[in-house]
Amino acid sequence: MGKGKRLLSEYRRADASGRSRMTARVSMLAHFSAAACKIAAGVFALSGFLVISGLYSAGIGTAKGIYDRGAALSRGNRTQELRYYRNIAMILLISALAYMTWMARLFFSPPAFRYGRILGIGIAALSFWDLGAAIWGLADSGKRKDILLSGLRTVNLSSAMTALVLTQTAILSFTHEPTVQAMAADARSNAVLGLLVGCVSCILSVWMLFRYRREARQMEKGSA
């Protein structure tokens, strides 16, 4: 109990960057735990798509770990910050491509599980809250001119967008009878949204890489 109070006190005293680091550590552990469970289940069930989903979760966790390490070690060194920022972008790009591969399976293999109405509505509410917070955080990091924090919040935005796919999946699963035709139609709709979200995440990561190259060139010109 004492340790929990101490951590809460440290969180309250920390600035925006410090709070982001603490939150990123917790989120990183959650993503790695989810990745381990998915990969283990995928290996046990011989499901390549579950393994790919686990790799996406691991990728998001890795990106947050890179942010935490970069924020701790760069100490305001712009060159090092840009290198960590580039690494976050690369991990996000690879994760987004893996996610798109995972979602494409829905065209060929509709899921057999269904969500209840209350659970589906709860998932939808949390997903929209998560997405709104991610958009606000990305805009706020832009005002602060903190490139590493911007990278973290771009990852958060990508992760929040995937929650929208889960929201649609949950809502569609309880809106009609679970016939074979209906489940196939829902799976196609979820696949389309999932691929769209994956494409947006790819665009975000490519934009990050362009930003890295632009700022790296500006630094080179400034030092010349």
Percentage of residues in the chain with pLDDT exceeding 70? 71
Report DSSP state, residue 75: T
pLDDT at 164: 78
Percentage of residues in the chain with pLDDT exceeding 90? 16
Asked whether residue 13 carries a pLDDT value surpassing 80, the answer given is no
Provide the residue range defining the domain that includes 140.
2-223
**Phi (first) and psi of residue 166, to 5 degrees:** -60, -40
Could you give the number of structural domains in the chain? 1
Q: What whole-number distance in Å separates Cα of residue 104 and Cα of residue 216?
A: 36
Q: What whole-number distance in Å separates Cα of residue 106 and Cα of residue 141?
A: 35
Q: How many CA atoms lie within 13 A of 104 on its CB side?
A: 10
